[in-house]
Amino acid sequence: MLSLKTKLMAAAVAAASATATASANEVNLYSARHYDSDQTIYDAFTKETGIKVNLIEGDSNALIERIEREGAASPADVLITVDAGNLWRADQAGIFQPVKSEALDKRLPDNLQHPEGHWFGFSQRLRVIYYDRSDFDPSQISTYEDLAKPEFKGEICIRSSSNIYNQSLLASMIEHHDVEGAEAWAQGVVDNMARAPQGGDTDQILAVAAGECNLAVGNHYYYARLLNSDKVEDREAARKVGIIFPNQSGRGVHANISGGGVIATAPNRDNAVRFLEFLTSDTAQEVFAGSNHEFPAVDGVLRNPVLDTWGNLKIDDINVSVYGENNPEAVRIFDRVGWR
Ligand code: FE
C-alpha cells in the first residue's frame, strides 16, 4: 500500500504537471478542414495573443474517435469540423464541454449555436438544386419538395444517403414535414433518381453538365469552386449548369455550418475559448468562410465575390442542432425508402 506521504507527493506531481500543461501558451486544434489558407488565421491568432496553435488534421470521424480513445489524457483543446450532423455526433460521444462566452454569443446568430454552447457555427453552406441550362426550364422547380414530383422521374442525380449532407437535409425535412412527410419526400426523390447514388457533390454537378441528369442536389461551394477553377474544363462545365436556391418564397434554402467546440478535457481551456472567439473576428471570418466560398456566420463580413452575384438569399433560420437531433430518424427513413 502506498503511504499517505507517497500519495500526497504523487498528487503534487500530478497537480504540477497539470499546471505546466495548462500554463503552456498553446492551443491544440484538431481540424477536419483542409484549407491551406486557414494557416493565416492561426498565424494571426498567434500574433495577436501569443498563443501557439498546434494543428492536427484528419477526417471528422477519425478525429472524434481519436479524442475518445485518448480520453482524459487527450491534448485536444478544440475540434473543428463541417456539418451540424458531425458536431452532434461528436457531442453524443461526450467530447465537448459547454462554453459561455459573451463575445461568441454577441457575434454569432443564435441558430448557428448549440443551445448550451457545446459547439458554434463559424460559416454557412447551402444545399442547392442544379439544373441543365440547355435542357431544363428552371421555372418548373422552386422547392426541395418539388424534387419529389412524379414529372421529374429519372431526372435527379444525388449522392448516397451515407453522406452527412443528405442526412442533414432530410433531418430538416423531418422538422418541417414530420416523419411521414419526410419519408414520402425521400421516396419521391428515390423514384426520380437518374442513376443509383454515386460520387460526391462535384460529381453530381458534372453529371448535369454531361447531360446525364437534368437536376442534381449539392452544396453551393462545389459549384463556386468549379466556376473559379483554373482548369478551363471545370469552368466550362459550371457554365452549362444553373443553380436554384430552393424555398425562397417560403422558409428559405437549407443551410449547414462549419463549426467547432471546446473539448471536455481541454488542457488549455481558456486558450481554446479565446481561439473560438478569434474565429468570429472580421479577419478570421473572411478567411474561414472565404477559403471555401462559404457564407460568413458574422453579419457584414466581406464575402467571396461569387456569393454576391447570387443576390440576397433567404436562408432557413432553423437551429442547426435540429439536424443532429433528427439524424437517427433520417438514417432510418433512408433505409426504409431504399436510398442507397
Ligand atoms: Fe463538402
Whether residue 88 is predicted with pLDDT greater than 70 in this model: the reply is yes
- The verdict on 97 and 173 lying in the same domain is no
- The verdict on 56 and 71 lying in the same domain is yes
Compute the distance from residue 49 Cα to the ligand 1 centre, in Å. Answer: 31
Compute the distance from residue 172 Cα to the ligand 1 centre, in Å. Answer: 18
- The verdict on 164 and 234 lying in the same domain is yes
pLDDT digit string (tens) for 168-222? 999 999 999 999 999 999 999 999 999 999 999 999 999 999 999 999 999 999 9
- The verdict on 223 and 328 lying in the same domain is yes
Compute the distance from residue 258 Cα to the ligand 1 centre, in Å. Answer: 10
Residue 218 within any structural domain of the chain: yes
Please enumerate in sequence order all residues whose Cβ is within 8 A of that of 106, keeping only pairs 6 or more positions apart, or say none: none
Residue 164 within any structural domain of the chain: yes
* The pLDDT value given to residue 198: 97
Dist. CA 63–CA 77, nearest whole Å: 12
- The verdict on 327 and 194 lying in the same domain is yes
- The verdict on 117 and 248 lying in the same domain is no
- Count of C-beta atoms within a 10 Å radius of residue 134: 11
pLDDT digit string (tens) for 294-313? 999 999 999 888 899 999 99
Compute the distance from residue 127 Cα to the ligand 1 centre, in Å. Answer: 10
Cell of 251: 422558409
Compute the distance from residue 219 Cα to the ligand 1 centre, in Å. Answer: 7
Q: What is the mean pLDDT of the chain?
A: 93
Residue 317 within any structural domain of the chain: no
Compute the distance from residue 220 Cα to the ligand 1 centre, in Å. Answer: 9
Residue 186 exposed, middle or buried by CB count within 10 Å (0-12, 13-18, 19+): buried
* The pLDDT value given to residue 15: 43
Please enumerate in sequence order all residues whose Cβ is within 8 A of that of 132, keeping only pairs 6 or more positions apart, or say none: 208, 209, 211, 213, 214, 215, 240, 241, 242
Partnered with residue 131 across adjacent β-strands are: 215, 242
* The pLDDT value given to residue 23: 55
Whether residue 4 is predicted with pLDDT greater than 90 in this model: the reply is no
In angstroms, the Cα distances linking 84 to 80, 120, 192, 211, 260 are 11, 9, 27, 33, 9
- The verdict on 203 and 269 lying in the same domain is no
Mean pLDDT, rounded, for 36-60: 96
Confidence of residue 34 (pLDDT cuts 50, 70, 90): confident
* The pLDDT value given to residue 128: 98
Weakest mean pLDDT among 6-20, 112-126, 141-155: 6-20
- Domain residue limits at 264: 4-124+256-311
Confidence of residue 264 (pLDDT cuts 50, 70, 90): very high
- The verdict on 120 and 265 lying in the same domain is yes
* The pLDDT value given to residue 117: 98
- The verdict on 195 and 260 lying in the same domain is no
Compute the distance from residue 72 Cα to the ligand 1 centre, in Å. Answer: 31
Residue 338 zone, left/alpha/beta (φ > 0; ψ -120 to 50; rest): left
Compute the distance from residue 20 Cα to the ligand 1 centre, in Å. Answer: 38
- The verdict on 34 and 71 lying in the same domain is yes
Compute the distance from residue 316 Cα to the ligand 1 centre, in Å. Answer: 19
Residue that has been written with the C-alpha cell 454537378 in this structure:
205
Compute the distance from residue 56 Cα to the ligand 1 centre, in Å. Answer: 19
Compute the distance from residue 48 Cα to the ligand 1 centre, in Å. Answer: 30
Query: Into how many domains does the chain fold?
Result: 2
Q: Which of 223, 222, 218, 221 is nearest to 240 (CA)?
A: 223
pLDDT digit string (tens) for 96-143? 999 999 999 999 999 999 999 999 999 999 999 999 999 999 999 999
Query: Which amino acid does the sequence have at 13?
Result: V
- The verdict on 14 and 119 lying in the same domain is yes
Query: Looking at residue 240, which CATH number applies to its domain?
Result: 3.40.190.10
Dist. CA 141–CA 129, nearest whole Å: 9
DSSP 123-184: EEEEEEEEEETTT--GGG--STGGGG-GGGTT-EE---TTSHHHHHHHHHHHHHHHHHHHHH
Cell of 112: 448557428
- The verdict on 166 and 269 lying in the same domain is no
Compute the distance from residue 68 Cα to the ligand 1 centre, in Å. Answer: 24
Q: Give percent of the chain above pLDDT 70.
A: 93
Residue 316 within any structural domain of the chain: no
Residue 109 within any structural domain of the chain: yes
Compute the distance from residue 109 Cα to the ligand 1 centre, in Å. Answer: 22
Dist. CA 93–CA 74, nearest whole Å: 14
Compute the distance from residue 1 Cα to the ligand 1 centre, in Å. Answer: 55
Compute the distance from residue 223 Cα to the ligand 1 centre, in Å. Answer: 11
Mean pLDDT, rounded, for 147-159: 98
* The pLDDT value given to residue 195: 98
The model's pTM: 0.91
